[in-house]
Amino acid sequence: MASIFITGSTDGLGLMAAQRLIADGHHVTLHARSATRAEETRQTVPDARDIVVGDVSQTGGMKSVAEQATDAGPFDAVIHNVGLGYRASERIETPDGLSRTFAVNVLAPYVLTASMPWSERLIYLSSVLHQNGVADLSDPQWTRRPWDGNQAYADSKLFDLMLAFAVARRRPDAFVNSVEPGWVPTKLGGDEATDDLEAGPVTQAWLATSDDPEALVTGQHFYHQQVAATHPDAHSIEKQEDLLDYCAQLTGIRLD
């Protein structure tokens, strides 16, 4: 029986992973953006151990969620599921002056990783669209370029892979991996998505709890429980370190 924290777990794949893990007898702490969403989720998932609340589009909310989760822990595994999709038709700026896509998809998992006690297993959600990403930090907040929601999303999912691999290097005693769940018909994926929804949460739940030798690895990227291809830049240590430095500059929090 494991204790697991899942970010962004009031709907979609995060909720499905939570329900799957709870059904298997694990203790799961959820994360909701607001108190209203938390109360709704308590009705949907009454067997969740706890729900932390915070809007991770803002750095203050990220830090608050990290503090609450630390109090609710310790956790054997953390699934960094929270994320925004590729359909944003315009750049939305957070109160911190950041692109909301970057803040939620990249900075939130960075802050939680850097701020919370280490868990034995860390899983980061990416996407096959990371293959279209560009690991360029010259304008990651899209303040100078014309906004392109698809590209901003692809970039963020490449950054998630880079973050996962950087964390894996720093914690060789942990199992740190990333997952592309497939293009599934969730709120994020849209109704036209073609992958199997039921298979969407399987790999992250498996990596969080399984003792299968194939799951007890680190620094890998998975699709449907199989190691998947990655963008070459995801493995660049120089680019990984540049990303960590950039996130540290934005937040004042360093990932040791």
Distance CA 61, CA 100 (A): 13
Distance CA 129, CA 131 (A): 5
pLDDT for the residue 189: 53
Distance CA 49, CA 225 (A): 27
Angle (CA) 141-193-15 rounded to 5° is 75
pLDDT for the residue 28: 98
* pLDDT tens for each residue of the chain, 256 residues long: 899 999 999 999 999 999 999 999 999 999 999 999 999 999 999 999 999 999 999 999 999 999 999 999 999 999 999 999 877 889 999 999 999 999 999 999 999 999 999 999 999 999 999 999 999 999 999 999 999 999 999 999 999 999 999 999 999 999 999 999 965 445 555 556 545 557 779 999 999 999 999 999 999 999 999 999 999 999 999 999 999 999 999 999 999 8
Catalytic residue among 86, 157, 223, 239: 157
Distance CA 98, CA 92 (A): 8
Could you give the 3-state DSSP secondary structure of residue 210? coil
153 is catalytic: yes
pLDDT for the residue 195: 58
The answer to whether the CB of 253 falls within 8 A of the CB of 115 is yes
Q: Please state whether the peptide bond connecting residue 117 to the residue before it is cis, i.e. omega within 30 degrees of 0.
A: no
Catalytic residue among 86, 110, 124, 153: 153
246 is catalytic: no
C-alpha pair distances (Å), 130 with each of 23, 83, 256:
31, 14, 25
| Domains of the chain (ranges, CATH numbers) | 3-251 (3.40.50.720)
pLDDT tens for 209-226 read 999 999 999 999 999 999
pLDDT for the residue 92: 96
pLDDT for the residue 192: 61
What is the value of pTM for the model shown?
0.95
